[in-house]
């Protein structure tokens, strides 16, 4: 197995993408947040708002900001000029929210980390806005669902 962020001496290094062709690339990631049936019901009844403000809208904004700042958070990510960040948050069942983040770019490297970061930051924002109601909130199953463009594609089973 070869890791792309290690040089010939096994030292950390940023991957050189200068020889790659800029192409349209996209990635989709998801994350689930377990709130529990009681909190889910109370939030639905309140229009998904709390004393801190509109929970889902705030999480979408935070996730978008997270995608844009990924290269500042993860050492070897390239700064990218993102063309699109779309975040959808909806109930997965009576106890959990599902966050889906879709990110697009026209560049020399992919946007998997930006999509994963967007979903994660949105989940953390939901946690922050709901933590007063429960300490049993769980952020779970953050994963890449799909990536397109570049040398290889990916779609989860």
Residue 138 is classified by DSSP as: E
Of 16, 45, 93, 128, which residue is the catalytic one?
Answer: 128
Structural contact between residues 66 and 118, judged by C-beta atoms closer than 8 angstroms: yes
Cα-atom radius of gyration of the chain, to the nearest Å?
17
**Catalytic-residue membership of 128:** yes
Percent of the chain as helix, strand, coil, to the nearest 5: 30, 35, 35
Q: How far is CA 51 from CA 13, 29, 62, 153, in A?
A: 45, 29, 17, 43
SS3 66: helix
**What residues act catalytically?**
128
């Amino acid at each position: 197995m070869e890791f792309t962020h290690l040089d010939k001496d096994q030292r950390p290094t940023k991957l050189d993408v200068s020889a790659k062709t800029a192409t349209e690339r996209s990635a989709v990631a998801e994350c689930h947040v377990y709130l529990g049936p009681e909190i889910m019901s109370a939030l639905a009844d309140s229009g998904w708002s709390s004393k801190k403000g509109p929970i889902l809208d705030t999480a979408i904004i935070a996730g978008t900001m997270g995608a844009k700042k990924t290269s500042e958070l993860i050492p070897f990510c390239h700064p990218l000029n993102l063309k699109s960040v779309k975040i959808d948050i909806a109930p997965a069942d009576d106890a959990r929210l599902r966050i889906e983040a879709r990110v697009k770019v026209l560049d020399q490297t992919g946007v998997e980390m930006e999509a994963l970061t967007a979903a994660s930051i949105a989940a953390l924002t939901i946690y922050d806005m709901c933590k007063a109601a429960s300490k049993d909130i769980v952020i779970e199953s953050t994963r890449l669902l799909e990536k397109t463009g570049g040398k290889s594609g990916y779609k989860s089973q």
